[in-house]
Amino acid sequence: MERQYDRFVEGNTTPEADQRDRLLNPGNNGRLFHWRVSLDRFEEQPLHGDGAGTYATAWDRFAPISFDVLDGHSLYLEVLGELGLVGLVLVVVALGTILV
């Protein structure tokens, strides 16, 4: 298990030629950068965030690499950065209500 974690953290890309093989590759494929941007935004505005739909502008501001991005590749972390704790609680309650 620890080896797979290390491969996820260290393996930034999934270079498989056959795209079906990428499902077995634990590389993070750049997701850690996206998650870090969301967490940086959350640290700035922990209660209410920056505002809905502002991930792309935050990416331009915080990202260590430059390319066009629209979302944070994690619903919970993106909501945490955009809408803060209040937004995350609302998403968890909404999804919990559907599951119950």
Q: Which of 43, 44, 33 is nearest to 66 (CA)?
A: 33
How confident is the model over 62-81, as pLDDT tens digits?
777 777 888 888 899 999 99
43 vs 9, more confident: 43
Is the separation of the CB atoms in 65 and 33 below 8 Å? yes
Tokens linked to 56: 């792309």
Mean pLDDT estimate for the chain? 84
How confident is the model over 9-30, as pLDDT tens digits?
877 666 657 767 667 777 777 7
Give me the amino acid identity at 12: N
The structure's pTM equals 0.77
Q: Residue 91 pLDDT > 90, yes or no?
A: yes
